[in-house]
Amino acid sequence: MDSESNKNDRFSSLGFIMSAVGSAVGLGNMWKFPYITGQYGGAAFFLLFIVCLLLIGFPVLLAELAVGRGGRGNASSSLTKLSGSKAWGALGFLSVLGAFFIMAFYGVVAGWTLHYAVLSFTGNLFENGDYAGLFNQFIGGWAPIGWQLVVMIVTVLVLIRGVSKGIERFNKLLIPSLVVLLVLLAIQAMSLQGAGEGVSFFLKPDFSKLTGESALVALGQAFFSLSLGMGIMVTYGAYVQKSQSIGSATFAVGLGNVLYALLAGLIIFPTIFVFGIEPTQGPGLVFVALPAAFSAMPFGALFGGLFFVLLSFAAITSAVSILEVPVAYATETFKWKRNSAVLIIGALCFLIGIPLSLSLGGGADWMTINGKPVFDWVDFICSNIILPVSSLVITIFAGYVWKGAAEESGLSAGWFKLWLFMVRFIAPILVLLVLLYYAGVIQVG
């Protein structure tokens, strides 16, 4: 498929919603959202998160989709086309660059989830009981590179087939499977004796924990969780048909994402609390705490295996969306054929992923900067600097520069006014605060 035919390759309306949900639902929902909710005030934090989504996340998501569909280009060219200025395209390019590097490390982590699914089903995961040791030994070795390759091959095979036959079909298959697994695992976790303690850690409202810091954390998570600032929604927006309402799509994607995050918490916390394991966040939660819990559970190998399959499905549908960002850029800018673009960019991300992955094992000196593995640095720079800056670019662009947003959004006059107010005045200020907070420039109590 060449870049010309790619132009008319569009999502069906359900296919688009599933693909956007597939992108939004990812590792962030599983290992970050549940823990920060528990830590920053349970149901009170959850409410705050919903407020952030409604007031800022949804308007920016809608802005990204509208810019993509209006410009019918990639995450950089859409801005150039709509403004007539290459400078905006250059700012948009930042998200293409971010997407490329995010794919390099996200592919590594997605590989870990596949490995753990296999380890769990075979029962090998539960052999020696030292889950932290096992995990640390695994991630710093060579084996993750093989798993990263598997993830990359799957992602490449999906993308080579294009938008409707590749991305859409894949998500239409994986999202329903993901929902079945999620519901099954949630019922299983909630029926464990003593599950209530986990639910209470996750959701018990504690309004005294709502501080400036928790608000910024909620906001950062709302952005990450909707896959904003990565060029994904602009790129996917270009494949949305004119007849689809992007207002309703925004709402459906946001709702799907929240429900998923909620169910993920209802699986994770009951499971670990029942077995007396301390909650934590990040890789430690899913690769260390959860295996310990599964090992103590009847049919733990089965439920653990299913859990890691769920996690890898969530990760791969997000990986597909992020690799499409540089692929769309390359087919349009360099006029590469789609096949070549997917293969070249997939291969480059894989190659960059190798040192990132090896840096986690201590690696050579050049693999660490200030004592931190380059893996962590790339994650930090992409997630905490590039994503908020790109989000800022898109809000300012949609709010002040591009005048066609009203028509493209299809919103009624009242909703449009509200949306414009949010993207003009509220979102840029709050995104800037998140950026300064994560960059360590400001501290809040």
- Residue nearer to ligand PFF on the CB measure, 23 or 359: 23
Under rule CB under 6 A, residue 26 binds ligand PFF: yes
- Residue nearer to ligand PFF on the CB measure, 88 or 375: 375
Under rule CB under 6 A, residue 326 binds ligand PFF: no
Q: What 3-state DSSP class applies to 373?
A: strand
Give the nearest distance from C-beta 364 to ligand PFF in angstroms: 27
Under rule CB under 6 A, residue 387 binds ligand PFF: no
Under rule CB under 6 A, residue 313 binds ligand PFF: no
CB of 362 closer than 8 Å to CB of 412: no
- Using the contact rule CB under 6 A, the part of the chain among 60-68, 202-210, 221-229, 344-352 near ligand PFF is 221-229
CB of 276 closer than 8 Å to CB of 294: no
Under rule CB under 6 A, residue 225 binds ligand PFF: yes
Under rule CB under 6 A, residue 391 binds ligand PFF: no
What single string gives the DSSP state of each residue in 278-297? PP--THIIIIIIHHHHHHTS
Under rule CB under 6 A, residue 102 binds ligand PFF: yes
- Residue nearer to ligand PFF on the CB measure, 99 or 246: 99
- Of 11, 16, 40, 106, which lies in the binding site for ligand PFF, with binding defined by CB under 6 A? 106
| C-beta neighbour count of 344 within 10 angstroms | 15
Sign for the pseudo-dihedral over CA of 55, 220, 328, 171? negative
| C-beta neighbour count of 382 within 10 angstroms | 23
Under rule CB under 6 A, residue 29 binds ligand PFF: yes
How far apart are alpha carbons 424 and 264 in whole angstroms? Answer: 34
CB of 253 closer than 8 Å to CB of 227: no
- Of 37, 120, 318, 390, which lies in the binding site for ligand PFF, with binding defined by CB under 6 A? 318
- Residue nearer to ligand PFF on the CB measure, 153 or 187: 153
Under rule CB under 6 A, residue 167 binds ligand PFF: no
Backbone angles phi, psi at 320, to 5 degrees: -55, -45
- Using the contact rule CB under 6 A, the part of the chain among 50-58, 101-109, 242-250, 394-402 near ligand PFF is 101-109
- Residue nearer to ligand PFF on the CB measure, 280 or 368: 280
Buried/exposed 59-98: b ≥16 CB within 10 Å, e otherwise: bbbbbbbbbbbbbbbbbbbbbbbbbeeeebbebbbbbbbb
Under rule CB under 6 A, residue 120 binds ligand PFF: no
Give the nearest distance from C-beta 218 to ligand PFF in angstroms: 14
| C-beta neighbour count of 210 within 10 angstroms | 17
CB of 227 closer than 8 Å to CB of 103: no
How far apart are alpha carbons 308 and 306 in whole angstroms? Answer: 5
Interface with ligand PFF (CB under 6 A), residue total 16
Binding mask 340-359 for ligand PFF (x = CB under 6 A): --------------------
- Using the contact rule CB under 6 A, the part of the chain among 1-9, 100-108, 204-212, 334-342 near ligand PFF is 100-108
- Residue nearer to ligand PFF on the CB measure, 318 or 395: 318
Give the nearest distance from C-beta 289 to ligand PFF in angstroms: 19
Please, which residues bridge with residue 372 across strands? Answer: 369
- Using the contact rule CB under 6 A, the part of the chain among 23-31, 111-119, 273-281, 286-294 near ligand PFF is 23-31
**Number of H-type helices and E-type strands within the chain:** 24, 2
Report in angstroms the alpha-carbon separations of 210 from 55, 136, 376. 17, 34, 28
- Using the contact rule CB under 6 A, the part of the chain among 113-121, 154-162, 224-232, 418-426 near ligand PFF is 224-232
Q: What residues line the site for ligand PFF (CB under 6 A)? A: 23-24, 26-29, 102-103, 106, 224-225, 227, 318-319, 321-322
